[in-house]
A and B are shown apart, each in its own frame.
Chain A
């Protein structure tokens, strides 16, 4: 059955595809964001992407399957920016701690942009894993992020993020443990849905 590109079912599926791809290919200096249902956009360079999203129906929820091809190479080589970020964090005296990114006014301090991009990428794993035909998730805000010192080469961050589900309009706090390395990319080692803030 053909889906109308302008209707919401196509858009939600595209959101899932974009999430999966950004988890695989995103990083502190690289964000894939859905431009429209026919294209995925890499930080200002438009890239053509075709994806197939398979929602598994049935009582047990499992992550939608995404098969995608991207025209041209996004490049898995760490760039200078990634290395700079890596060195900067590695050489911090105190482990990095921050809250409310962006703040209420949409401001993101420039040195926090890579932290935010990393959150997008890691969040997209959670979004991909938890998406159904009746959800459309976006990262609303990073509530809290703390660096966890490690002995090995990886950087580790403990994030609490707020996800916005557009369909239910709910704001869902979610904790995630994120590893990153310039060569090895992003990995979410642990994540859990948190109780909603009751006001």
Chain B
């Protein structure tokens, strides 16, 4: 083939890291068949590592080639010596890629934060409490903050109330959601924050949610165990329980999800204060659980209770303390299936579902058994991502995907509750 340059030195193979520093994209005018043929021939020289963005086809059509930096000089000499005109479309590919990456980062950051709050990262209790006030300030007609009690170490227990009721004294039928009752389950508080924001921003846009809020209220307690949560940040990331002092023991804390008055003290908990599932000296010994129970009892119209935990990807309903099926077991089971199917549809995450005692283990004195036995017919526990690979240490990058997939599952339950008043 005439005109083909013989390339002396073998050019180094591109290293495994894809760096495009100094690479250029050339737009070449193939004006006749000979030029097209020459350009095709160039394609065959693999050592040049040419990347054809628009391949040689026929005369008159441009040929675009990304030329790696080391091949630039020989290729340009080849084109010039053969009288093939070209222009430089992209001066430096890497610069373009860097700019694009920065722009994407900026866009993502903007997407993630609403009024400066980054939903895609884990926050401290101070940050969450401060953000709650911002949310209320942004949506004063929908969101208010209630204090239902104090933790052992005197931290306030805050609940967000989502209500379109006209008067302060409105007492509509309502849905209860709690996250973070076990402090090390960080994905739950993070999901709670995202969900609160979702409710506030989707009201008026999402028809189903708006319909629910027209006649029902939603209560959301995000940091249900604030002492434990603060402790996971300051001392021990794996802390689960409250931080109460146990008489006669150097071990602190009670498992707040064994402290409820439903099957209290059974084999699905322990009476050892040093244990992670210590039920406490008596039911509702912990202010964190007593405050919620008192609130629900005095409210009197709670129609659903959803308690959110992690990990293991499950959706469960009563009972945990006994084998006997709940009176509306079939309805709860059918609804659970709908909810996990809706969840899986978002990112493919697979959940198992069923009664607590069969799906996970016998557990006594748990939240949803008590709510169920006290008239809250739709009582569910979620166990969010993952199934053990990261466990409690779920990477922050999974916060938004987890919250996104949990949302339709929550909606399925809330819609059902709304459509089946009792």
A residues apposed to B, CB below 8 Å: 4, 6-8, 33-34, 36, 102-107, 138-141, 162, 164, 166-171, 196-199
Given contacts A105-B395, A171-B238, A197-B236, contact A6 B359 (CB under 8 A): yes
A selection of 21 A-B contacts at a CB cut-off of 8 Å is A7-B359, A8-B359, A102-B395, A104-B237, A105-B122, A105-B393, A106-B396, A106-B397, A106-B398, A138-B391, A141-B237, A141-B238, A162-B238, A164-B388, A167-B361, A168-B275, A170-B275, A199-B231, A199-B235, A199-B236, A199-B239
A140 pairs with B238, CB closer than 8 A: yes
CB nearest to A101 among chain B residues: B393
Contacts of A167 in B (CB 8 A): 361
A198 pairs with B250, CB closer than 8 A: yes
Minimum distance in angstroms from B398 CB to a CB of chain A: 8
B276 pairs with A140, CB closer than 8 A: no
Interface size class of B (residues with CB under 8 A): 35 or more
Find B312's partner among A103, A166, A170 (CB 8 Å cutoff): A166
Residues 232-276 of B at the A interface (beta carbon under 8 Å): 232-233, 235-240, 250-252, 255, 274-276
Find B358's partner among A7, A106, A140, A170 (CB 8 Å cutoff): A7
Q: Does B189 contact A (CB under 8 A)?
A: no
Given contacts A105-B122, A106-B396, A162-B238, contact A7 B354 (CB under 8 A): yes
CB nearest to B252 among chain A residues: A199
Find B395's partner among A36, A106, A162, A171 (CB 8 Å cutoff): A106
Contacts of A162 in B (CB 8 A): 238
CB nearest to A164 among chain B residues: B391
Rounded to whole angstroms, the CA-CA distance of A169 and B238 in the bound complex is 10
B residues apposed to A, CB below 8 Å: 121-122, 231-233, 235-240, 250-252, 255, 274-277, 312, 350, 352-354, 358-361, 387-398
Nearest 5 A/B pairs, CB to CB: A106-B395, A138-B388, A169-B276, A106-B393, A102-B393
Minimum distance in angstroms from A6 CB to a CB of chain B: 5
CB nearest to B239 among chain A residues: A199
B387 pairs with A106, CB closer than 8 A: no
A140 pairs with B277, CB closer than 8 A: no
Rounded to whole angstroms, the CA-CA distance of A169 and B181 in the bound complex is 14
Rounded to whole angstroms, the CA-CA distance of A33 and B391 in the bound complex is 13
Contacts of B276 in A (CB 8 A): 168-171
CB nearest to B277 among chain A residues: A169
A105 pairs with B396, CB closer than 8 A: yes
Contacts of A170 in B (CB 8 A): 275-276
Find B354's partner among A6, A166, A171 (CB 8 Å cutoff): A6
Given contacts A8-B358, A138-B388, A140-B391, contact A168 B350 (CB under 8 A): no
Minimum distance in angstroms from A169 CB to a CB of chain B: 4
Rounded to whole angstroms, the CA-CA distance of A36 and B396 in the bound complex is 24
